[in-house]
Amino acid sequence: METNEFAFKGFKMSGFLMLFFFFVLLGVSVAAFFVDLSPNGLNIVKIVIAAIIILFSFISLGGFMMLEPNEARAMVFFGKYVGTFTETGFFWVNPFLEAKKVSLRARNLDVEPIKVNDKIGNPILIGLVLVWKLKDCYKALFEIDSQTMAIGATGQASVGVTVAGRMGAFENFVKIQSDAALRQVAGMYAYDNSDVNTKEITLRSDGDEVNELLVQKLNERLAMAGMEVIEARINYLAYAPEIAAVMLRRQQASAIITAREKIVEGAVSMVKMALNKLSEEEIVDLDEDKKAAMVSNLLVVLCADEAAQPVLNTGTLNQ
């Protein structure tokens, strides 16, 4: 996406050097009030010149600025954008330039869980945490209303003229857009698969794929504001309270069915092994009816939820 941002190319100088000139000018102008250097009656002119020097000295104080690493200032000259200043250190620039300071550092945002409908219409609660940072100062400051979007601790909108105010406005913008992107992505996938044999991507089991799509959707939405999402991950996922109990029973039933399949598989293997052993070692000769009765009894014992109760058979196998 195109950007109108460019580096500041206006006049700048070391802040320490300008600070030295400031004290020199201030000292000369103050001395001019007390030292009579005009014996021919030019004291008024001297005072006026000294006053002008003092006024200029104090106006020049507005040109001092200091930048730390990963900070920037958008330079504006009477409403016209003249570049972005990103050099770190102590500098002096034209005092009539307005320097809008912003932070380029990475910031965390924990989005509270919201209620949405997944792909098959189940209401779920889903939340995310993301890491974002400012990428384009021009877009962030002039493409969106960052001057009046800041939300204070009281929940009231305030004018974002400070660094904290501007960054609060940006964070509020990211929060709203992340809410919209999260709703969009959550509606594209089911919470989980009702059929264990399918390989469909779900919110619960395929976190990496969902997170990658979430980052993509967030960056598409935030590109217009000059912001970039570095990482986004779903950190909360649950069924909504109104269906949580039903879905829990469904999961329990699915787990019971899976367990029963394993039990039956093992029981059949054990019955087969028992019949083969009896036949190979010729312990007893069983006809088909007796084998069927034995298989039935063994399956009941092996597949039952409770321990089998012994029954004494006082008859013989020939009865």
Strand partners, 66: 90
* DSSP letter, residue 310: P
**CB neighbour class for 167 (10 Å; exposed up to 12, middle 13-18, buried from 19):** buried
Are 292 and 234 in contact, with CB atoms under 8 Å apart?
no
The CA-atom distances, in angstroms, between 220 and each of 126, 191, 212, 223, 229 are 21, 24, 13, 6, 10
Please give the Cα distance from 112 to 187 (Å, whole number): 17
Report the mean per-residue pLDDT for the chain. 81
- Top-confidence residue, 222 or 1: 222
Please give the Cα distance from 87 to 77 (Å, whole number): 19
pLDDT number for residue 86: 93
Pull the structure tokens for residue 135.
Answer: 């990428």
pLDDT (tens digit, 9 = 90+) per residue, 62-87? Answer: 899 999 999 999 999 998 999 999 99
* Residues contacting 254, CB < 8 A, separation 6+: 196
* Residues contacting 245, CB < 8 A, separation 6+: none
- Top-confidence residue, 109 or 58: 109
DSSP characters for 101-152? EEE-S-EEEEEEEEEEE-TTS-EEEEEEEEEEEE--HHHHHHTS-TTS-EE-
CATH number of 107-239: 3.30.479.30
CA-closest candidate to residue 130, choices 150, 144, 112, 114: 112
pLDDT number for residue 219: 94
pLDDT (tens digit, 9 = 90+) per residue, 109-156? Answer: 998 999 998 888 888 999 999 999 999 999 999 988 866 544 444 455
Are 84 and 72 in contact, with CB atoms under 8 Å apart?
yes
pLDDT number for residue 319: 45
Strand partners, 127: 236
Please give the Cα distance from 231 to 178 (Å, whole number): 12
pLDDT (tens digit, 9 = 90+) per residue, 229-274? Answer: 999 999 998 888 877 666 677 666 667 777 777 878 887 888 788 7
pLDDT number for residue 293: 76
Q: Which amino acid is at 12?
A: K
- Top-confidence residue, 195 or 279: 279
Are 51 and 96 in contact, with CB atoms under 8 Å apart?
no
- Top-confidence residue, 73 or 303: 73
Strand partners, 84: 7, 74
Residues carrying CATH 3.30.479.30, the chain: 107-239
Rounded to an integer, the average pLDDT of 284-307 is: 71
pLDDT number for residue 152: 46
Q: How confident is the model at residue 204 (pLDDT cuts 50, 70, 90)?
A: confident
Checking if the pLDDT of 159 tops 60, the result is no
Question: What pTM was estimated for this model as a whole?
Answer: 0.70
Torsion-angle region of 40 (φ positive above 0: left; ψ -120 to 50: alpha; else: beta) = alpha
Torsion-angle region of 79 (φ positive above 0: left; ψ -120 to 50: alpha; else: beta) = left
